[in-house]
Amino acid sequence: MMRNLNDLLALPQIFVGALFLLNINFRYCIIMMSYTLILFGGVIMKLFRGITTALIALVSLSAVSTSAQASTYTQKSHALSPYTASKWKTVANANNYVTKPSYVANPYNYFQTSATQLTYARGNQRASFKTNIFLPAVLHSNSPADWGNPQSIALTSGGGTAYVMYAAASNAKTGWVAKYNLSKLRNTYKVSSSRMDLLRHAFYVLMQGGDTSEYKAVRKCVTYGSRFTTGHGQSLAMNPKNGQLWFVQNPGTSGGTATVQRLSKTTLRPYQTVKFKPRSSDGHKVTMGSNLTFDKAGHAYFSSFVAGSKKLKIYKGTISSKHVKFALVMQGLKYRPGTVNQSISYNSHSNRLYFISDESISSVPVSKLGKLKPSDVKATAFNGHREFEGLAFTSSGTPYLLLNRSAEIMKGSGIQ
């Protein structure tokens, strides 16, 4: 910020810095400068204006620096409730397990003008998805693949704004968050209907040239923060009870230190960090999954796989700025949706939890956790060989699926 100030302000900046170091009373200085201005007129007035501008710049810089630093709380108490491992059971749900497919990128033109679809393949819930918005996949000439690697999505209740966490292609442990004004993109610029290629064109010109006033206006619908350590980035989630955004920055190792962070909606950077150990007082140690969601009561959830099987475990708990606590739900799924544990999601309209794998989605009712029947588990396997990344819902229950290769958001139907 400071390097963009006019060179004319260099002297006033130095003067203001000296005042800070010498701990001089600024009110007195301003009074004295006012008398000086009366005596020496316009020349000193310019100097005074320079000092004022420098002061504002210094205060602004201080505020930005402060917000960029995430306050850290290290929890000393156990973050996992005791349980008896032998009492954990599974519901005998139907086997709709999908083996990780050989990923196929969207086979159509990058500047696609019509939607693609994911169709129902099998399962007890007939559902499908259709392109709603083609996201930009190219932005910076020095890292053209980065914007093609989204990992998770969070929606505001009305679905008008999306927060998408990206993983840098050059370094999988770092990334950033982009905020999309979906309402304006859809309603003003018709990117979900008659001009589906517009958003990609608006960003592509930053590499290739040919910018226009319309492209610039479209890009104003997308804001993004600077790069930070995101971890895998699969877990960005909004708590519907309080609107807070959280993600798992580091799942840790079994019983080792895990880290969750709260994201600022203004800076799109983490500003609260909680470190904890997911171990119990009776000796159980787990690794927190790289996935996260919240229900409408504010409860947090993550899921994990059971090695050597197709089973899935569910953990329920709470996350706040100074406390994390989870408990193993003593009933899991005999058959998880697929090979890769991509993400977990929640639908406040149906009050169901969703487990997302590539080409496969399963869900269970929150109200029946721990006492599920096979018929309570809904599952759909899809055609398409696409890489599923995240699933988010509006408050009315409309599902939106985030996909990779190339990046897009699809709108679903038939998902309950």
List of residues 6+ apart from 7 with CB closer than 8 A: none
For residue 38, the model assigns a pLDDT of 37
Structure tokens at 174: 């770092």
Q: In the sheet that 117-118 helps form, which strands lie side by side, from edge to edge?
A: 117-118, 128-134, 408-413, 399-403, 388-393
DSSP notation for 362-416: EEEEGGGTTS--GGG-EEEEESS---EEEEEE-TT--EEEEETTTTEEEEEES--
The pLDDT value given to residue 40: 43
- At 361, the amino acid letter reads I
Q: What is the pLDDT of residue 66?
A: 31
User: Which pair of tokens denotes residue 303?
Assistant: 């899921």
Mean pLDDT, rounded, for 113-130 = 96
Residue 272 pairs in a beta bridge with 71, 262
| DSSP assignment of 237-260 | EE-TTT--EEEEEE--STTS-EEE
C-alpha 167/C-alpha 344 separation (Å) is 18
- Indicate the pLDDT class of residue 21, thresholds 50, 70 and 90: very low
Q: Please tell me the pTM assigned to this model.
A: 0.82
Q: Quick one: which of 325, 354, 308, 185 has its CA closest to 258?
A: 325
Lowest mean pLDDT of 86-90, 105-109, 190-194, 287-291, name the range: 105-109
Give me the mean pLDDT over the 208-237 stretch.
95
SS3 content of the chain, % helix, strand, coil (to 5): 25, 35, 45
Q: Which residue's entry shows tokens 């609107």?
A: 243
User: Would you kindly state where each structural domain of the chain is located, as residue ranges?
Assistant: 2-68, 71-413
Longest Cα–Cα distance of the chain, Å, equals 90
* Residue 161 pLDDT greater than 80, yes or no: yes
Lowest mean pLDDT among 107-121, 180-194, 279-293: 107-121
pLDDT of residue 50: 39
Which residues does 84 contact at the CB level (< 8 Å), separation at least 6? none
Cβ neighbours of residue 102 closer than 8 Å, sequence gap 6 or more: 385
C-alpha dihedral sign at 17, 20, 26, 28: negative
Mean pLDDT over residues 69-73, rounded?
86
| Confidence (pLDDT) at 146 | 62
**What is d(CA 120, CA 381) in angstroms, rounded to the nearest whole number?**
6
**C-alpha–C-alpha distance, residues 142 and 190, integer Å:** 30
Task: Average the pLDDT over 359-384 and give the result.
Answer: 97
Residue 53 binned pLDDT confidence (cut-offs 50, 70, 90): very low
Beta-carbon contacts of residue 210 (< 8 Å; ≥ 6 apart): none
Confidence of residue 7 (pLDDT cuts 50, 70, 90): very low
Beta strands in 92-160 (DSSP E): 117-118, 120-123, 128-134, 150-155
Mean pLDDT, to the nearest integer, of 243-269?
97
Amino acid 124: pLDDT: 97
Mean pLDDT check: name the lowest of 98-107, 242-251, 375-384: 98-107
In this model, does residue 262 exceed pLDDT 70? yes
pLDDT (average), residues 338-360: 97
CA 234 to CA 102: how far, in whole Å? 20
Angle between helix 42-68 and 10-22 (nearest 10) = 70
pLDDT for the residue numbered 101? 86
Q: Is the pLDDT of residue 36 over 50?
A: no
Instruction: With a cut of 80, say whether residue 261 has pLDDT above it.
Output: yes
Is residue 249 within 8 Å of residue 193, measured between CB atoms? no
Residues 10-33: what's their mean pLDDT?
A: 37
Cβ contact 412:128 at 8 Å: yes
Q: Are 360 and 127 in contact (CB under 8 A)?
A: no
Q: Which CATH architecture has domain 71-413?
A: 6 Propeller (2.120)
Q: How many CA atoms lie within 13 A of 415 on its CB side?
A: 37
Taking alpha carbons only, the member of 310, 162, 125 closest to residue 238 is 162
Q: Which tokens go with 136?
A: 């930009």
Strand partners, 166: 150, 176
pLDDT confidence bin for 210, thresholds 50/70/90: very high
CA dihedral sign, ordered 289, 290, 294, 299: positive
% the chain with pLDDT above 70? 80
Question: Average pLDDT over the chain, rounded to whole?
Answer: 84
**Whole-number pLDDT of residue 312:** 98
Mean pLDDT over 374-384 rounds to 96
**What confidence score (pLDDT) does residue 87 get?**
98
Strand 388-393 relative to strand 378-382, pairing: unpaired
Query: How many Å apart are CA 301 and CA 316, to the nearest integer?
Result: 5
Cα–Cα distances in angstroms (integers) from residue 333 to residues 99, 363, 374, in the given order: 16, 10, 9
From residue 267, alpha-carbon distances to 26, 225, 394 in Å are 31, 6, 23
